[in-house]
Structure 1
């Protein structure tokens, strides 16, 4: 064995400095808390037409019905179909107008909502004579946004195909009545929206949903409720 002093010496490589580990970035803290706003359902004596649409929750957790009940399932089906129509009149979609004027209206009963979902097509069909009168005065009635808006509302709550309903009822959304000299397509969106909602309630009243005009307009009579609608009144 060689003495230590005679062994060849190989210097060790200098240590490679290593970078100090960087501290992990601190997760951002969102200091904004989302508080659930309490909703108060009250009796309103003037129309909500000139107010911004109020957000209303779906059937889950509302005073109407639990989601797994017959009424809850019916309402959710209506709302899902209403969402399919993107047309707006004076800031309202068919869904927002239905929520505010019908679903959130305490004067509209749960029984009326269930009955709406069971209205047959034959109860809404305007008939060939009415169709002819409407199309003679307003040939493009079916192409107008107010007509499509009104059809979307009725189709959503009854489950009747929208195209079928439009073909049968071109008078939906037209202001006035086919059997009178007063029948026209309103130009202003406020009147269009008013007409759409009144046609919705009055057609369903004619189909057997008694009390719906009174629940929304304060009077059941077709003509008087139309006047209330035209001047911007209502009970929602």
Structure 2
């Protein structure tokens, strides 16, 4: 009978044997670790780097800059108007039918080929007295629309008129409270329009017609195609105009 050995036999376990690492893999590990550490340290990946390398969007051209250089009379007038628009919150924060006072003024007046340089210069020299409503007209305005000076369309219109003339917005609002109202204090029709389309056209028509009345001839025709107050108002009301 053969003898049974009671001592345990030690079996080799392949999993316990350390795996041999190829020299090439060992050489690659430090470089890979360095790259991971670099990304982790800077928190920047290749996608972010690519986006940062993109060129910035081109600056938008200044409305009316094509009219003349900064040393010309019209160029100085345009620069002053644009500067006043940029510094007036009401010219940029109130939007009516997709337009701010700044965008509408820039498109319909400063960049319009129908508005002449002479008209730009003329509107820059209009005094407050030439625009002010009479006391009777003011009284009728406040009776019809007591909160008129708080309306966005009034502030919108005042912002355009102030930019063009250089008159202080507060003084302009006090002197011409009917700016932005549809109709006129001298007629039975005077109200605050509800629709934004009518509000925007009213704001622009008040701008052109009040300046026409103050001596800037041809401004209604430049924007609406006709010069008279009533006909230009009709064109404005039906959505016409060159803007």
Same fold (TM over 0.5): yes
Corresponding residue number in structure 1 for 2:188:
181
TM-score by length of 2: 0.74
Alpha carbons 1:59, 1:67 under 8 Å: kept: no
| SS of residue matched to 2:96 | coil
User: How does 1:70-81 map onto structure 2 within 5 Å?
Assistant: 70-81=73-84
Distance 2:58 2:142 in 1: 49
Q: Which moved more, 1:178-187 or 1:68-77?
A: 68-77
Alpha carbons 1:59, 1:66 under 8 Å: kept: no
Please report how far the alpha carbon of residue 72 of structure 1 lies from its aligned counterpart in structure 2 after TM superposition: 1.6
TM-score by length of 1: 0.77
Aligned residues: 199
Alpha carbons 1:56, 1:99 under 8 Å: kept: no
Is structure 2 residue 80 aligned with structure 1 residue 89? no
| 226, 232, 235: which one aligns with 1:219 | 226
Distance 2:228 2:62 in 1: 31
Higher helix share: 2
Aligned Cα root-mean-square deviation (Å): 2.4
Please report how far the alpha carbon of residue 151 of structure 1 lies from its aligned counterpart in structure 2 after TM superposition: 0.6
Distance 1:36 1:137 in 2: 47
Gaps of 5+ in 2: 1-29, 40-45
Distance 1:166 1:73 in 2: 25
Q: Deviations over 1:154-210 (max 9, x none)?
A: 011100011111111111000011122211000111100000000000000000000
Gaps of 5+ in 1: 1-18, 38-54
The runs of at least 4 consecutive aligned structure 1 residues that moved more than 2 Å come to: 22-37, 55-60, 67-70
| 110, 132, 135: which one aligns with 1:125 | 132
Query: Radius of gyration: which is bigger?
Result: 2
Corresponding residue number in structure 1 for 2:26:
none
Please report how far the alpha carbon of residue 71 of structure 1 lies from its aligned counterpart in structure 2 after TM superposition: 1.6
